[in-house]
Amino acid sequence: MKFQTLAHPAPLPSDRRAAALENPGFGTLFTDHMVTIDYDEAKGGWHSATLGPRQPIALDPAASVLHYAQEIFEGMKAYRQPDGSLALFRPEENAKRFNKSAARLAMPALPEDLFLESIRQLLSVDGEWYPSVEGGSLYIRPFMFATEAFLGVRPAKQYKFVVIASPAGNYFKSGSPAVSLWVSDYTRAAPGGTGAAKCGGNYAASLVPTGQAFAKGHDQVLFLDAVEKKWIEELGGMNLFFVMDDGSVVTPPLTGTILPGITRDSLITLLREEGLNVREEMYSIDQWREDATSGKLIETMACGTAAVVTPVGKVTSEDYSFTIGSGGPGQITSKLREKLVGIQTGAVEDTHGWVMKLG
């Protein structure tokens, strides 16, 4: 599909952009452009691919997304390479997961090559927005939502796919060497629901418990299963790994109630390469507490695109609180983070073909 390019009437001046990139934070600063592609069942599918200025999107008040929440998204990053080029990390996996989310929400699939090309198009004009801070990246947010104007519970027939980008610094604002978790009484997802899809509704459900965690001085919220309220699932936006003193690592299985993280999948591969026995199995909050207290559990790490790999230092609920190891980063967590970031940024050899250079 050919992209139409629209000139930006007033891009941010380079001096103001440079000043903003010195401290971009996370998710509050955005690049000049965006990609949009429309879908209309009556017109034969996807059409009108456009690279143009980032601007507000006009919606009819009866647009389906506003009433029935047909919306999905992805989160990915572009990384600066030693030769100055930009590269993506396993973007084809984001494209595949995007379409799995679309299928769960009765939305049309976007061809994977079109998904990837839309990102190339955006970065071809906004690559200069790469932040100057250490550990910075360009966070990329592809998303799709229903635009058809109607009131009635059925899948929409019209959609819009959009890609925007945001220069990113540190994800966690606390600056702590390890994050602190609050165990929530709320449920993120139930069996048969949309837990494995990357849709806005899952994150909307997490906002109240996340707010509670923040109010109590914690960095993230921990969700347990919806049935027995005992099995660990995931955080508000990250998967978990539990490192034992016998060289084994446990991570909750993909049973349909947690997001199949791309960082999670990458870590499983890297951990096994380190000679660790990774087991995808259910792990209870009581067992976590017992193993941490006895010393059997030596590290816990959280992972996701935004935070990459982050050590978990403390877990608290209304009834108990416990610390993992020394409460700071462990050796395996630190080693895995260094290796993964190294692969993403070109400092470590990519033996898996995970990095897609953009030139």
What is the extent of the structural domain holding 92? 4-168
pLDDT of residue 159: 98
Alpha-carbon distances, residue 215 vs 27, 147, 182, 208, 223 (angstroms): 20, 36, 10, 11, 17
In a domain, 285, yes or no: yes
CATH number reported for the structural domain that contains residue 93 in this entry: 3.30.470.10
Q: Give dist(CA 127, CA 116) in Å, integer.
A: 15
Both 207 and 148 in a single domain? Answer: no
* Chosen domain end from 143, 168, 193: 168
Both 118 and 44 in a single domain? Answer: yes
Both 191 and 162 in a single domain? Answer: no
Taking only the tens place, the pLDDT of each residue in 169-184 is 876 555 568 999 999 9
CATH number reported for the structural domain that contains residue 250 in this entry: 3.20.10.10
Both 224 and 278 in a single domain? Answer: yes
Both 19 and 141 in a single domain? Answer: yes
CB burial of residue 215 (10 Å; 0-12, 13-18, 19+)? exposed
Query: pTM for the whole thing?
Result: 0.95
Both 255 and 275 in a single domain? Answer: yes
Any residues with CB less than 8 A from the CB of 240 and at least 6 apart, and which? 232, 234, 251, 252, 300, 301, 302, 303, 312
Taking only the tens place, the pLDDT of each residue in 7-65 is 999 999 998 999 989 889 888 999 999 999 999 999 999 999 999 999 999 999 999 99
Both 258 and 140 in a single domain? Answer: no
Q: How many residues does the chain have?
A: 359
pLDDT of residue 111: 98
Q: What is the residue whose two structure tokens read 């989160």?
A: 75
